[in-house]
Structure 1
Amino acid sequence: MHHPRRLSSDDAPVSAYKELTILPQPLAPDALPVGQLVSKSSKFNPPTLEDRDYDDVGSRWYKDVIVFDSKSGRFLQSLGATHFIKKPEDGNEAGTIEAPEQYVRLLKDPSASLKKALESDEAKQWLKENPEAGFVVGARIVTNASYRRAGLIDRGNDNWEVVREVSGFSTDGKRRDSGLEVLTNSKHDVVGVSVRKILAQGGGEATLGEELDTSYWN
Structure 2
Amino acid sequence: MALVYSCCFWFSLRLGGIIIALFSIIQALIVLTISCVGYSNPKNIEEKITFWVNDLNLIFTKEFVNNLRSDPTKTLGLIILLTCIYIIICMMYVYGAYKCNNVLMMPYIVAELVRLIAFTVLVITLLLTLKKNTMDIGLLIGASVLGGFILLGMFYLWVCAANLPIVINEKEHDEYVATITKLEELLQETKPKTLIGFDYVPRSNYNEALYSKHIHRFQ
Under a length normalisation based on structure 2, what TM-score does the superposition of the two structures give? Answer: 0.22
The structure with the larger Rg is 2
Structure that is richer in helix per residue: 2
